[in-house]
Amino acid sequence: MTRDGSHLEFPGGARFAFTVMDDTDVATVENVRPIYRLLESLEMRTTKTVWPVRCEEGSRNFWLSETLDDAAYHDFVVDLHTRGFEIAFHGATMETSPRARITRALERFRGVFGAPPRVHANHAYNRDNLYWGASRLDDPVLRLLCGRVAGQAAHLYEGHCPGSPYWWGDLCVEQIEYVRNLTFSEINLRRINPSMPYRDPSRPYVRWWFSAADAEDVDEFNHLLSRRWENCSTGFVPAASMMGYRQVNGAACSGGGPGISCCASSPRAVGRHR
């Protein structure tokens, strides 16, 4: 159902929509091109995030990753874009970036693809992340617990904090339409977040938030899809193309109503650094 009470309709009489948002962590042309060629052969179009600029200082965890500053990777991603895949923003680069580098990365993205990114996802422990860590939570007790469990300072992430060297909230709300927030081990996000994408007045530097299922590797991906998707067929579409629906009602497969699911995935084999 939409907010005005009308039924949500999908093309071809489908009862649900499903997409994949691929975090670019440790992505190279060599390790992801076969996946995207397979998706294209199956007439699937998904969302791939990128880092627009290289990380000059290096990265302990993500040093194998390629960015748009790598010529072969740049050409590969541009080709994906021309073939109908959505390209999204995963921050400026693989490690923490000051405002100047974020500004340069957004300009690079716009220069390569002709428009700002519509979708952004925070990355790992980058301090320029927006409303990340304990700042994702409202309850002060949960915030305290989150900080202690994660071993992080309460204000580690400052992308949304004016005056911080990592501040870029104004650039986000000006240029980016949707930001991924919470992720779940649940393929039918209607059970958890039926109103997505949603606005949060207490977090004004993001226009619209959306949630996602979380699949770290092929085993987790298959587990998410098992038992719920028998006798169903699906087409993959870019994440942003589904975010125009301001509310989602109904089960993704078995409930008889329309639903939307977004699965966050990555080529990484270890570590939960989203």
Least confident of 70-79, 139-148, 163-172: 139-148
Q: Are strands 86-89 and 16-22 parallel, antiparallel or unpaired?
A: unpaired
Q: What is the pLDDT of residues 39-97, one digit of tens each?
A: 999 999 999 999 999 999 999 999 999 999 999 999 999 999 999 999 999 999 999 99
Q: What is the pLDDT of residues 171-211, one digit of tens each?
A: 999 999 999 999 988 888 878 888 889 999 999 999 999 99
Is residue 5 over pLDDT 80? no
Is residue 1 over pLDDT 50? no
- Secondary structure E strands in the chain: 16-22, 47-50, 86-89, 119-121, 178-184, 208-214, 259-265
> Could you check whether the bond before residue 197 is cis, i.e. omega within 30 degrees of 0?
yes
Q: How far is it, in rounded angstroms, from Cα 66 to Cα 89?
A: 14
Instruction: Tell me the two tokens of residue 243.
Output: 């975010």
Q: What is the pLDDT of residues 203-248, one digit of tens each?
A: 999 999 999 999 888 898 888 888 654 434 334 445 554 443 333 3
pLDDT band at 261 (very low <50, low <70, confident <90, very high): low
CB distance 81 to 89 below 8 Å: no
Q: What is the pTM of this model?
A: 0.83
Closest C-alpha among 115, 35, 104, 43 to residue 69: 104
> Would you state the CATH architecture of domain 11-124+173-265?
Alpha-Beta Barrel (3.20)
